[in-house]
A and B are shown apart, each in its own frame.
Chain A
Amino acid sequence: SAVISQKPSRDICQRGTSLTIQCQVDSQVTMMFWYRQQPGQSLTLIATANQGSEATYESGFVIDKFPISRPNLTFSTLTVSNMSPEDSSIYLCSVVEGMGHQPQHFGDGTRLSIL
């Protein structure tokens, strides 16, 4: 399966700042997603990163807070804007290769702490 590189792997940020997380795949993929996993919780889908167009956000997530880019079929970024301690979480990129009912594969995640 595709090799997914996510960076940074972790960061500690100040309240009110923004951080951009990158997800790079070594081959073209059909779909790219961004998830949040809060401490002790399961995964919550933030949005689907659409190549060349605006991302599709899930209920409770908005573009102003989590702007997403996907300029091509191998790369996407997620920005966490105007961060607060509640944004402390693990952020995960996932990809789908091929068509149809294919599984998602995850990057190693970004562990984000907000002071």
Chain B
Amino acid sequence: QKEVEQNSGPLSVPEGAIASLNCTYSDRVSQSFFWYRQYSGKSPELIMSIYSNGDKEDGRFTAQLNKASQYVSLLIRDSQPSDSATYLCAVNMRGSSYKLIFGSGTRLLVRP
């Protein structure tokens, strides 16, 4: 079992729809969870960080964390073609506050 798992996609949604991206992780003691967006040929860009159970909203983005079920998700409301990118889920490594394990990423395609 991979430590951080994501569906590779592509996830295709129409413009204006809600895109839902999911991530599961294996280490129960993980405490830090991050979503990065990576456009083709570019470096990852931090979108959201979440540390506590529940929802965290920032503009069109909502991160959801459920530690009991060991999953974290990212919702993108009113999806735009410019949201088309690969979304990487990252979780802190056991024993480290700073080192991250990345999932393989989900490719999102927003159709105009």
Contact = CB atoms under 8 A, between A and B. Distances in A.
A106 B43 contact: yes
A52 B48 CA distance: 32
Nearest to A109: B43
Contacts of B31: 101
Contacts of A96: 98
Interface extent on B, as a size class?
20 to 34
A43 B98 contact: no
B100 interface: yes
Interface string B16-58: 0000000000000001101000000011111001010000000
Interface string A16-56: 00000000000000110100000001111100100000000
Interface string A94-110: 00100011111111110
B99 interface: yes
B7 interface: no
Contacts of A106: 43-45
Contacts of B42: 108-109
Contacts of B34: 103-104
Nearest to B47: A103
A30 B43 CA distance: 20
Nearest to A32: B98
Contact of B43 (A33, A100, A103, A107): A107
Nearest to A58: B99
B43 A45 contact: no
Given A43-B44, A106-B44, 5 more contacts: A42-B105, A92-B43, A103-B32, A103-B34, A104-B34
11 contacts: A42-B102, A42-B105, A45-B99, A92-B43, A96-B98, A100-B97, A101-B31, A103-B32, A104-B46, A105-B46, A107-B43
Interface of B: 31-32, 34, 42-46, 49, 51, 88, 90, 92, 97-105
